[in-house]
Amino acid sequence: HHTSSFCLPEIDAAGMLILLDKAGVACSAGSACHSGSLHSSSVLGAMGISARDAACTLRVSFHRFNTKPEAEEAAHKVIECAHKLRAERGDDGMVVTH
């Protein structure tokens, strides 16, 4: 109930992790049981998620003391970082907005 996983199609999770870390947002990618590596999540595979989408999936965990404003700020930073990665590769067709 405190962990969420979301896919940003065509956005490399490894690149997002670097940008999000610089923005002060801690999250993970890959398999939780292979912490520190980007092995695809066996759970996502079992759910029928393609390897391509799994490579674009981030996982975020919340603590009971996290506030709604903290979660909203993190979400805005995720959107900003995704826009930045898309812009760097020349893709301006992103539909996500604030």
CB 56 within 8 A of CB 10: yes
Spatial distance between the Cα atoms of 21 and 11, rounded to a whole number of angstroms: 16
Q: Which of these, 68, 85, 65, 67, lies nearest to 23 by C-alpha position? A: 85
Spatial distance between the Cα atoms of 86 and 91, rounded to a whole number of angstroms: 5
Helices of type H across 1-98: 13-22, 42-46, 51-54, 68-88
Residues serving a catalytic function are 33
